[in-house]
Homo-oligomer: A and B are copies of this chain.
Amino acid sequence: MPDRDTKGAVRNITDLARLAGVSPGTVSRALAGKSLVNAKTREKIEAIAREHGFRPNQMASGLRRQKTGVIGVVIPLGHDTRQQISDSFFMTLLGFLADELTREGYDLMLRRVVPETDPDWLDRFIGSGMIDGVIVIGQSDQFDRIEDIADGYGPMVVWGNHTEGQLHCVVGTDNRLGGRQAAERLIAAGAKQLAFLGDTTAIEFAARFAGANDVVRRMGLPSMIELPTHLSPERAGEEIADHLVAHGDDIDGIFAATDTLAALALTALRERGVAVPGDIRLVGFDDLPIARQTVPPLTTVRQDIAAGARGLVDLLLRRLAGDKTESLVLPPELVIRETA
């Protein structure tokens, strides 16, 4: 264990310089792995550093170099989405992001914000001086605010939905296409009256809904029934049950905005004795692990989360380097299991 209490405790680069009999500048160069340092000197410095468990203070270094080596990751919690909800999808994405950023030598500073109570959430984060760039996970209902910022701040990439002509650089699945795939599958499986389960004020969900609608209209089927829900499992569970009471007999296909909602719907349908896919066909979105484990396993539209994380980090790094980058739209993939 590092020698914390030798009388010559090493608190900074200057202490270390004294012990090594060189100047602070040399220590800085040696520890930063710069060229132009005598091999023996460097070795000696590294030895002393190791012996005392010394690491240069990143705050000081950051201040001086005007870069921190930290990327901010912020999750805006929308209107409904109080507290910890930020569902499994975002959490999984966060995990991948952590891995990618680590690989690139960056640290990750995480913030969850409630835009309603803190309209300044994005400026505040960016202006803190603590981060070199920012990744926003989910546009929530903050599209406009994000656009505002994008106008004057380069190193930002957002996970979310791509809209024609938008300013901010976004990475995300083609939600509209995914919606089409879902509706096509439901119809191919025999559904005639579709319903959309989820809150369409979220822009990603609205796009999924719109995609499904494209197909419904093209096929000349009756327009979809909207079944709005919150995202938190507790509330959504009840809401779904209510929806089924109201519309359960009118519909024969459900497109759920997420797998979580689909799983909940499956449970509610089973409780009502509705056969899936016999009476009602069901398609989810995301392809989270839970999709394989429902009974029957869920047909769903897959988002490639790992590719998304890689894209976010990749684009952000290029922006950090000064590039102007385009948005990245990933293709969704229909995964056919047994609910449709």
Contact residues of A with B, CB < 8 Å?
1-2, 4-5, 53-60, 62-63, 68, 70, 73, 83-84, 86, 88, 91-92, 94-96, 98-99, 102, 107-113, 123-124, 127-130, 148-149, 151-152, 233, 260, 263-264, 266-267, 270, 289-290, 292-295, 306
Q: What is the distance, in angstroms, from A256's C-beta to the closest C-beta of chain B?
A: 13
User: Given that A102-B112, A107-B109, A107-B130 are known contacts, is A88 also in contact with B86, CB under 8 Å in the complex?
Assistant: no
Which residues of chain B come closer than 8 Å to A293, judged between CB atoms? 263-264, 266-267, 290, 294
Q: Which residue of B lies closest to A60 (CB)?
A: B63
Complex CA–CA separation, A273 to B94 (angstroms): 37
Q: What is the distance, in angstroms, from A99's C-beta to the closest C-beta of chain B?
A: 6
User: Given that A60-B63, A63-B63, A289-B233 are known contacts, is A53 also in contact with B99, CB under 8 Å in the complex?
Assistant: no
- Selected contact of A110 from candidates B4, B5, B54, B98, CB within 8 Å: B98
Contact A95 B88 (CB under 8 A): no
Contact B148 A1 (CB under 8 A): yes
Contact A63 B59 (CB under 8 A): yes
Contact B107 A108 (CB under 8 A): no
Contact A130 B295 (CB under 8 A): no
Contact B55 A127 (CB under 8 A): yes
Which residues of chain B come closer than 8 Å to A292, judged between CB atoms? 233, 267
Q: What is the distance, in angstroms, from A240's C-beta to the closest C-beta of chain B?
A: 12
Contact A84 B96 (CB under 8 A): yes
- Selected contact of A127 from candidates B54, B63, B113, CB within 8 Å: B54
Q: Can you identify 7 A-B contacts, CB atoms within 8 angstroms?
A: A54-B127, A59-B59, A84-B98, A99-B112, A102-B113, A109-B110, A295-B295
Complex CA–CA separation, A73 to B91 (angstroms): 15
User: Given that A128-B58, A293-B294 are known contacts, is A99 also in contact with B111, CB under 8 Å in the complex?
Assistant: no
User: Given that A59-B62, A295-B270 are known contacts, is A99 also in contact with B127, CB under 8 Å in the complex?
Assistant: no
Which residues of chain B come closer than 8 Å to A123, judged between CB atoms? 2, 53, 55
- Selected contact of A59 from candidates B1, B86, B129, B289, CB within 8 Å: B129
Q: What is the distance, in angstroms, from A297's C-beta to the closest C-beta of chain B?
A: 9
Contact B124 A55 (CB under 8 A): yes
- Selected contact of A91 from candidates B91, B127, B151, CB within 8 Å: B91
Q: What is the distance, in angstroms, from A57's C-beta to the closest C-beta of chain B?
A: 4
User: Given that A1-B152, A70-B109, A109-B70 are known contacts, is A130 also in contact with B58, CB under 8 Å in the complex?
Assistant: yes
Which residues of chain B come closer than 8 Å to A62, judged between CB atoms? 59
Which residues of chain B come closer than 8 Å to A96, judged between CB atoms? 84
Complex CA–CA separation, A130 to B130 (angstroms): 10
Contact A59 B130 (CB under 8 A): yes
Complex CA–CA separation, A84 to B70 (angstroms): 20
Q: Which 3 A-B pairs have the closest CB atoms?
A: A57-B129, A55-B127, A84-B95
Complex CA–CA separation, A152 to B52 (angstroms): 13
Q: Which residue of B lies closest to A72 (CB)?
A: B107
Q: What is the distance, in angstroms, from A274's C-beta to the closest C-beta of chain B?
A: 14
Which residues of chain B come closer than 8 Å to A94, judged between CB atoms? 91, 94
Q: Which residue of B lies closest to A86 (CB)?
A: B95
